[in-house]
């Protein structure tokens, strides 16, 4: 069946595929298109969406795309960078300034089909350095935005030109934090572009069965089975497409797993009928040898990814000929955060995107049926394939495991004095006390990687630090991409970084803390309300007591490309504080309050 389609032009923004996903959730087929594709490619679509980008429109970066797009007699919607490019192309002005991160309030100024179903004010999600400050002839200012109470509104957060069929929004309707963003994209695809809603996830699954058969033919397939929903759904797709005889599963215990995790994964795969060619290897010592003395997060990820491939090759040789395919449960966030498209900025390298894997992809030996999907869509497929609710709701766990939740240090790290002074002043402005940790974490700002300091807030009750306050502090504070609340001790004391790397001893301590947090979430009935809750170990000692500062990072998300900090109740906080502070290695406890962006979900 031929479906009406919308083309999504991917300028390398972190959320380009999420635009396509949201349009497909409205049952309209959406396809990712390269900005430099020939004009004939764009003519196939009933509408076009221009994505965000790590590039700066104000400085004419990434301006080498096919500008014939603007000659199309179909509706075009620009998002963030795309919004700025539309404004600029039609005589408007874009400047470098007016940056906004995360949660914001959009105030609609006009009635329009694009905003049908929207209230006058709605919550939206921002992530930009550039802003539109003027529009050309025929354009109408459709809305303005502000990032908090008492903050001046920014103009031209939405623009429309019905005669030219050109529309732009500075915010990101594709992310879940824009509460009615799904509706806006559906309005664009169906009401403005006139597309018929005929596409479904069942169509997608049947297509993947057929593609897998045609791609693999009669060769065997080897799959790294982590036990997560992504790799499990991939295994079921391959098994149903090819039959169980051709699929070999390998579960590697890399020594970076959570407490008793490998035992549970093997039982789970057996229960799903995937045990015929199931292989297991304990390679913990091999991974730890590679990580010895390494503190840089990107280097750690590369080492873990390379070691996975080496172990896989060694094990595959025992059971298969050299002619086999590798199947991976790669989903879109893994690809885009590793700079997986031409214009995307590398945020962090995922283990399934290290150079050795990329080489196999170039050789045409890798199957990734989920590579264009997000976690929420994978869960939909899992439900269609019969996975249990418990399996579908399992918290995501990164491929590098606790290796990227165990931060490392040389022992001489210090906070930048200028950043620390500025952060304290910004905090004071909002009635909070704050200090800067002498350790950095990975973040994402305007689709670009940041590696900046983390700030700690204290002096007020946890519940007083609402999303607006934290967002405003992160917007104004230079050199900071993350804020956490000091849960224990109540007041900061002298603290220092100790030299520490990834070792079995540190991992065992982190496993214990992680297990306690997991238990508390389940006891209080909030495990399913939280999308993911990384527990991070920092080699940071307060008051000369203990060995590790434990960070709890609860987030709400459905796709992982954006996230909001989950807010604990007082009862949960007290329980976490009591249980964790009783561990003799715990020096301090922090609760991460950061949205994504500017902080990634994982600290590394």
Catalytically active residues are 80, 172, 174
Q: How far is CA 106 from the centre of its chain?
A: 23
Local structure of 328: helix, strand or coil: coil
**Inter-CA distances, 349 with 305, 309, 404, 483, Å:** 9, 14, 11, 23
Q: ω into residue 489 within 30 of 0, thus cis?
A: yes
Name the one residue in this structure whose structure tokens are 């709605």.
122
* Strand arrangement, sheet containing 480-488: 433-445, 448-458, 480-488, 586-592, 548-552, 535-538
Best CA proximity match to 126, nearest among 169, 187, 166: 169
Q: Are 224 and 252 in contact (CB under 8 A)?
A: yes
Best CA proximity match to 396, nearest among 532, 507, 515, 512: 532
Name the one residue in this structure whose structure tokens are 């595959």.
316
Best CA proximity match to 367, nearest among 244, 179, 239: 239
- Neighbouring C-beta atoms of residue 319, cutoff 10 Å: 13
Best CA proximity match to 76, nearest among 171, 160, 199: 160
Best CA proximity match to 536, nearest among 567, 513, 505: 513
Q: Are 563 and 598 in contact (CB under 8 A)?
A: no
Across the strands, what pairs with 280? 251
* Overall residue count recorded for the chain in this entry: 604
Q: Which alpha helices (H) appear in 57-110, and where do they start and end?
A: 81-89
Best CA proximity match to 48, nearest among 60, 35, 61: 35
Best CA proximity match to 125, nearest among 159, 187, 171: 171
Which residues have CB under 8 Å from 386's CB, separation 6+? Answer: none
Q: How many distinct helices (H) and strands (E) make up the chain?
A: 17, 24
């Amino acid at each position: 069946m031929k479906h009406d389609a919308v083309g999504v032009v991917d300028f390398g923004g972190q959320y380009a595929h999420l635009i396509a996903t949201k349009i497909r959730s409205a049952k309209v087929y959406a396809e990712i298109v390269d900005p430099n594709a020939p004009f004939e490619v764009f003519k196939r679509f009933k509408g076009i969406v221009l994505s965000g980008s790590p590039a700066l429109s104000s400085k004419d970066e990434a301006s080498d795309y096919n500008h014939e797009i603007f000659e199309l007699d179909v509706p075009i919607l620009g998002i963030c960078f795309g919004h700025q490019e539309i404004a600029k192309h039609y005589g408007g002005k874009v400047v470098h300034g007016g940056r906004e991160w995360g949660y914001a309030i959009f105030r609609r100024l006009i009635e329009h089909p694009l905003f049908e179903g929207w209230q006058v004010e709605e919550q939206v999600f921002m992530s930009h350095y550039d802003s539109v400050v003027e529009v050309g002839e025929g354009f109408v200012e459709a809305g303005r935005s502000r990032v908090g109470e008492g903050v001046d509104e920014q103009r031209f957060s939405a623009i429309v030109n019905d005669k030219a069929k050109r529309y732009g929004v500075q915010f990101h309707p594709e992310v879940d934090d824009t509460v009615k963003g799904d509706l806006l994209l559906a309005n664009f695809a169906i009401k403005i572009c006139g597309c018929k809603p005929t596409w479904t996830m069942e169509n997608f699954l049947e297509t993947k069965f057929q593609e897998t058969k045609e791609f693999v033919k009669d060769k065997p397939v080897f799959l790294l089975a982590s036990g997560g929903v992504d790799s499990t759904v991939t295994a079921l797709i391959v098994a149903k497409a090819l039959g169980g005889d051709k699929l070999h599963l390998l579960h590697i215990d890399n020594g970076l797993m959570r407490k008793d995790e490998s035992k549970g994964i093997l039982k789970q795969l057996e229960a799903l009928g995937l045990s015929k060619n199931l292989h297991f290897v304990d390679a913990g010592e091999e991974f730890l040898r590679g990580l010895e003395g390494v503190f840089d997060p990107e280097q750690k990820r590369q080492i873990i990814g390379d070691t996975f491939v080496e172990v896989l090759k060694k094990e595959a040789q025992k059971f298969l000929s050299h002619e086999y395919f590798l199947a991976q449960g790669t989903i879109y966030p893994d690809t885009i955060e590793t700079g997986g498209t031409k214009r995307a900025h590398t945020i962090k390298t995922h283990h399934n995107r290290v150079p050795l894997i990329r080489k196999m992809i170039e050789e045409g030996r890798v199957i990734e049926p989920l590579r264009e999907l997000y976690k929420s869509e994978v869960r939909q497929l899992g439900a269609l394939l019969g996975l249990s609710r418990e399996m579908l709701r399992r918290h995501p766990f990164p491929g590098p495991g606790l290796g990227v939740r165990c931060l490392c240090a040389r022992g001489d790290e210090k906070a930048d004095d200028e950043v620390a002074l500025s952060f304290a002043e910004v905090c004071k402005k909002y009635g909070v006390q704050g200090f800067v940790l002498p350790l950095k974490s990975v973040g994402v700002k305007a689709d670009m990687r940041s590696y900046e300091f983390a700030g700690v807030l204290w002096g007020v009750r946890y519940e007083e630090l609402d999303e607006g306050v934290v967002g405003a502090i992160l917007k104004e504070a230079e050199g900071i991409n993350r804020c956490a609340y000091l849960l224990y001790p109540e007041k900061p004391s002298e603290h220092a970084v100790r030299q520490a790397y990834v070792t079995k001893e540190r991992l065992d301590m982190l496993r214990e803390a992680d297990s306690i947090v997991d238990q508390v979430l389940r006891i209080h009935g909030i495990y399913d309300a939280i999308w993911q809750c990384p527990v991070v170990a920092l080699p940071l000692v307060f008051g000369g007591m203990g060995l590790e500062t434990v960070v709890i990072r609860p987030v709400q998300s459905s796709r992982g490309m954006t996230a909001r900090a989950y807010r604990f109740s007082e009862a949960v906080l007290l329980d976490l504080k009591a249980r964790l502070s009783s561990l003799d290695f715990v020096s301090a406890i922090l609760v991460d309050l950061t949205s994504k962006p500017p902080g990634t979900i994982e600290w590394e």
